[in-house]
């Protein structure tokens, strides 16, 4: 009565698996038919979402990469001080 | 093929059914057993007076009902899913690649009997013959017959489809273009018929049980419905056709009255605003949760069951009850009472005869099956509906609980319209929705026209006529006329008596 058919045999035990996938875990013909009314709409939605994500990244990176950093003065490397006489006097 | 056998399922019936002592329950248990005791001919019409067209409707669905149940029973391997269906070749009459046989030379004796019936009753459609009956419509091949040759029975079988369609080779060759229109379909019918009798294991006739209420059903088309209803995957198109031929009856009703019905009031949706108003059944079928539970504190008043009156019931009353239970599984918290009414409502149910005696509590000798499920009860009345209506057997009618369903009633068909003439005005008077199906587009339009003519516009259309999304995908052959192919519940429409909210009163 349950929808899953008992298919694979692992170590002598059977794992339940939906009958809508064949033994290689690929969708079966009936699953493709069931998905068919939504294929095109889902594909467009997926492309739209991917496009939106890519455009957000692109815009952000382009906006951030336009920054100019020439006015930031990089300080000189610190000068090494010679050992002082006070250390010797102690 | 007609030996008496009890299926394995019955030998493992739950103990409650096995303990039931009354003969009624035994009859019901026998029904659930789907024993192979029925040997009725698929087309039972030797005593008919012509035209045989009126028996078209007693199509081979009956044979499907009994064959399907018999085939469902036949291989005991059905209970062990591990056993491959090909191991038990000794039971197979026909292998899947060997399904096409000419009807006269078929390995199955039942199909040979059908071929013999066709050869004795069906007439050659070539225009050179004289007409044998009035043409049913403009598409009827009978209308083309203008010649003077005496009518001849079909004898010659088309080599491509295997069905006798002409009286001789010359007429067949002459009429070949017309035959080509349906040759492919006839071949498909041929193969499907042989497939049903091939003795193979039928996984498509195993139906799922109830499902989680939150797992909603998608009623866009057969594939989405079967997927969301958690049926086992039916990859093969032939198996899908076999399965939908039975399931079309409960699912067609369900698709109209369910709240997720694919018919809506938008422009392509076919439901009219009057139709939406009439779907008050949905209030009963999808009740709000009431906090009911299994204890005494969880007792809640329950509404009466939804009554579906199936009028003019023929083959559908003999459908296996597992098929009708699929209707119940679409509606988790609703209960149903299916009432089959019609003079032929006990067709193919010989195991349940004799009918119960007419007593005060059962004045019409109805066969009542109340042990099918906690949510469904089925009653069968072998009466005309107008008799029962006049007796007030089901009054009062409430549009929140009742609906009439007519499966291919043939309202406008010349052989049966007189039987409906008294019933239809009574149906309109109840103001309860009437859901109607038809074999073909022409059949449906003829029915609609007949209803409009009979009651003169006192009808509101609830669902515009059109193709039923959940029609049977398998085509049926009319044994009395092999060029007539139809499928179960092809067209769907619904109507109701016109309701006047306010009426004008002439004040002069």
pLDDT in tens, A50-60: 999 999 999 99
Is B372:B29 a contact under the CB 8 Å cutoff? no
Domains (range + CATH), chain B: 1-35+60-75 (no CATH), 103-196 (no CATH), 214-288+303-497 (3.40.50)
Predicted confidence (pLDDT) at residue A41 exceeds the cutoff of 90: yes
Q: What pLDDT digit, counting tens, does each position of B299-350 carry?
A: 999 999 999 999 999 989 999 999 999 999 999 999 999 999 999 999 989 9
What is residue B142's predicted lDDT score, i.e. its pLDDT? 81
**Does the residue A78 lie in any domain?**
no
Is A4:A16 a contact under the CB 8 Å cutoff? yes
Q: How many independent structural domains does chain A possess?
A: 1
* Distances in whole angstroms, Cα of residue B48 to Cα of each of A72, B244, B328, B421, B480: 105, 30, 37, 22, 12
Name the residue with tokens 């009574």. B426
Q: What pLDDT digit, counting tens, does each position of B44-61 carry?
A: 333 333 333 333 444 444
End-to-end CA distance of chain A: 94
Closest chain B residue to A28 measured between Cα atoms?
B235
Q: How far is B292 from chain A (nearest CA, A)?
A: 26
What is residue B149's predicted lDDT score, i.e. its pLDDT? 86
Predicted confidence (pLDDT) at residue A15 exceeds the cutoff of 90: no
Is B473:B242 a contact under the CB 8 Å cutoff? no
B230 at interface of A, judged by CB pairs closer than 8 A: yes
Closest chain A residue to B240 measured between Cα atoms?
A30
**Does the residue A88 lie in any domain?**
no
Q: What pLDDT digit, counting tens, does each position of B58-111 carry?
A: 444 444 444 444 333 333 333 333 334 444 455 677 888 888 888 888 888 999
**Does the residue A26 lie in any domain?**
yes
Residue B242 parent element (H or E): helix B237-257
B 239-268: CB under 8 A from A: 240
Predicted confidence (pLDDT) at residue A3 exceeds the cutoff of 80: no
Closest chain B residue to A1 measured between Cα atoms?
B208
- Across residues A23-47, what is the average pLDDT? 94
In this complex, the residue of B82, B223, B232 whose CB is nearest that of residue A34 is B223
For strands B376-381 and B336-341, give the pairing: parallel
What is residue A7's predicted lDDT score, i.e. its pLDDT? 52
DSSP-derived secondary structure letter, B127: T
**Does the residue A40 lie in any domain?**
yes
Predicted confidence (pLDDT) at residue B296 exceeds the cutoff of 50: yes
Q: How far is B26 from chain A (nearest CA, A)?
A: 24
Residue with the larger pLDDT of the pair B417 and B23: B417
- Distance, in Å, from the CA atom of B303 to the CA atom of B325, rounded to the nearest integer, reads 20
**Does the residue A73 lie in any domain?**
no
Structural domain range at position A52: 3-68
- Distance, in Å, from the CA atom of B324 to the CA atom of B332, rounded to the nearest integer, reads 14
Q: How far is B15 from chain A (nearest CA, A)?
A: 19
Q: Hey, how many other C-beta atoms are within 10 angstroms of the C-beta on B352?
A: 17
Cis ω for the linkage preceding B354 (within 30 of 0): yes
Q: Hey, how many other C-beta atoms are within 10 angstroms of the C-beta on B226?
A: 26
Q: How far is A17 from chain B (nearest CA, A)?
A: 11
- Joined together, the tokens standing for residue B26 give 């035994």
- Distance, in Å, from the CA atom of B163 to the CA atom of B89, rounded to the nearest integer, reads 27
**Does the residue A81 lie in any domain?**
no
**Does the residue A45 lie in any domain?**
yes
ipTM: 0.72
- Distance, in Å, from the CA atom of B429 to the CA atom of B498, rounded to the nearest integer, reads 9
In this complex, the residue of B220, B221, B232 whose CB is nearest that of residue A3 is B232
B234 at interface of A, judged by CB pairs closer than 8 A: yes
CB contact under 8 A, B208 and A1: yes
Among the listed residues B419, B480, B365, the one whose alpha carbon sits nearest the alpha carbon of residue B24: B365
**Does the residue A83 lie in any domain?**
no
Predicted confidence (pLDDT) at residue B383 exceeds the cutoff of 60: yes
Among the listed residues B366, B386, B385, B388, the one whose alpha carbon sits nearest the alpha carbon of residue B377: B366
* Average of per-residue pLDDT values in chain B: 82
Among the listed residues B142, B177, B70, the one whose alpha carbon sits nearest the alpha carbon of residue B480: B142
* Distances in whole angstroms, Cα of residue B144 to Cα of each of B118, B275, B382: 21, 40, 39
Predicted confidence (pLDDT) at residue B23 exceeds the cutoff of 50: no
- Distance, in Å, from the CA atom of B69 to the CA atom of B66, rounded to the nearest integer, reads 5
């Amino acid at each position: 009565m349950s929808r899953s058919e008992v298919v694979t045999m692992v170590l002598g035990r059977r794992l339940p698996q939906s009958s809508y996938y064949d033994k290689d875990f690929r969708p079966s013909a009936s699953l493709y038919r069931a998905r068919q009314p939504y294929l095109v709409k889902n594909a467009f939605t997926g492309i739209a979402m991917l496009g939106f994500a890519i455009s957000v990244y692109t815009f952000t990176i382009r906006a951030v990469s336009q920054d100019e950093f020439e006015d930031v003065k990089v300080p000189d490397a610190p000068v090494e001080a010679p050992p002082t006489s006070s250390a010797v006097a102690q | 093929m007609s030996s008496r056998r009890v299926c394995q399922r019955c030998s493992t019936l739950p103990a409650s059914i096995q303990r039931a002592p009354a003969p009624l329950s035994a009859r019901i248990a026998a029904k659930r057993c789907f024993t192979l005791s029925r040997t009725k001919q698929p087309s039972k019409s030797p005593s008919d007076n012509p035209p045989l067209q009126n028996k078209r409707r007693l199509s081979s669905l009956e044979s499907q009902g009994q064959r399907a149940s018999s085939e469902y029973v036949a291989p005991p391997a059905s209970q062990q899913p591990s056993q491959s269906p090909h191991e038990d070749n000794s039971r197979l009459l026909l292998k899947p690649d060997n399904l096409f046989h000419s009807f006269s030379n078929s390995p199955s004796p039942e199909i040979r009997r059908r071929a013999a019936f066709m050869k004795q009753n069906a007439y050659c459609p070539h225009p050179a013959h004289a007409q044998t009956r009035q043409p049913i419509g403009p598409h009827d091949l009978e209308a083309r017959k203008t010649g003077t040759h005496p009518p001849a029975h079909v004898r010659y079988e088309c080599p491509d489809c295997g069905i006798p369609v002409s009286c001789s080779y010359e007429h067949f060759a002459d009429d070949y273009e017309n035959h080509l229109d349906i040759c492919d379909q006839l071949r498909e019918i041929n193969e499907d018929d042989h497939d049903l009798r091939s003795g193979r294991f039928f996984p498509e006739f195993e139906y799922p049980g109830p499902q989680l209420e939150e797992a909603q059903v998608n009623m866009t088309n057969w594939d989405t419905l079967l997927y969301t209803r958690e049926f086992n995957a039916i990859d093969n198109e032939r198996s899908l056709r076999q399965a939908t031929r039975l399931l079309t009856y409960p699912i067609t009703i369900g698709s109209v009255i369910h709240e997720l019905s694919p018919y809506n009031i938008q422009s392509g949706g076919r439901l009219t605003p009057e139709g939406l108003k009439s779907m008050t059944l949905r209030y009963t079928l999808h009740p709000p949760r009431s906090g009911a539970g299994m204890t005494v504190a969880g007792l809640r008043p329950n509404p009466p069951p939804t009554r579906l009156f199936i009028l003019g019931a023929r083959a559908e009353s003999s459908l296996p009850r597992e098929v009708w239970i699929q209707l119940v599984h679409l509606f988790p918290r609703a209960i149903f009472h299916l009432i089959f009414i019609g003079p032929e409502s006990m067709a193919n149910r010989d195991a349940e005869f004799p009918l119960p005696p007419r007593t005060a509590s059962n004045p019409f000798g109805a066969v009542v099956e109340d042990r099918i499920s906690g949510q469904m009860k089925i009653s069968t009345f072998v009466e005309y509906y107008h008799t029962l209506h006049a007796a007030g057997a089901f009054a009062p009618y409430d549009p929140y609980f009742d609906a009439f369903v007519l499966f291919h009633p043939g309202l406008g068909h010349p052989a049966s319209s007189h039987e409906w003439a008294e019933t239809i005005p009574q149906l309109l008077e109840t103001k309860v929705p009437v859901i109607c199906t038809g074999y073909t587009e022409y059949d449906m339009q003829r029915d609609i026209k007949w209803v409009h003519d009979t009651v003169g516009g006192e009808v509101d259309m609830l669902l515009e006529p059109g193709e039923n999304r959940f029609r049977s995908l398998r085509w049926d052959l009319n044994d009395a006329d092999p060029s007539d192919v139809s499928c179960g519940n092809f067209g769907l429409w619904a109507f109701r008596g016109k309701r006047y909210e306010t009426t004008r009163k002439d004040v002069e």
